[in-house]
């Protein structure tokens, strides 16, 4: 994922995927975000990306991100940042190479943009 990529165009591209477009925050996710605050959610996101995605060969790659249970997990599936295979296919992030801090920040920023956008959606 390019840090310079426009989020709007990235979201539009993801919306064309039947699989990616089915992911949305639940009311429970929104309440969790409201209770914890966006800064805490960002810290969780940074930790998940650093430990589950950034290593060159993460353990259980392809299965390391649950489908639900935390707003960041939902966001990862919605944005194709859930595993190294999806990162390679959607965002051209090479497999087998550790993700550097700049790219980790770009992924976190993108995930947080999706979360913030979804947090304001009224079901």
**Which distant-in-sequence residues (6+ apart) come within 8 Å of 37 by Cβ?**
none
> 66 in a domain, yes or no?
yes
> 1 in a domain, yes or no?
no
> 52 in a domain, yes or no?
yes
> 2 in a domain, yes or no?
no
pLDDT tens per residue across all 123 residues of the chain: 444 457 999 999 999 999 999 999 999 999 999 999 999 999 999 999 999 999 999 988 888 898 889 999 999 999 999 999 999 999 999 999 999 999 999 999 999 999 999 988 654
Burial class of residue 45 in the structure, from the number of CB atoms within 10 Å of its CB (0-12 exposed, 13-18 middle, 19+ buried) = buried
| Residue range(s) defining the domain that contains residue 20 | 7-119
Number of domains in the chain: 1
């Amino acid at each position: 994922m390019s840090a310079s990529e426009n989020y709007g165009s990235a979201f539009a591209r993801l919306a064309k995927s039947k699989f990616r477009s089915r992911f949305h925050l639940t009311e429970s996710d929104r309440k969790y975000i409201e209770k914890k605050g966006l800064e805490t959610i960002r810290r969780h996101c940074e930790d998940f990306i650093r430990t589950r995605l950034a290593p060159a060969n993460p353990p259980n790659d392809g299965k390391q991100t649950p489908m639900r249970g935390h707003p960041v997990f939902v966001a990862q599936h919605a944005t194709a940042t859930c595993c190294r295979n999806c990162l390679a296919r959607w965002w051209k992030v090479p497999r087998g190479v550790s993700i550097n801090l700049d790219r980790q920040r770009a992924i976190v920023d993108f995930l947080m943009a999706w979360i913030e956008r979804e947090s304001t959606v009224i079901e």
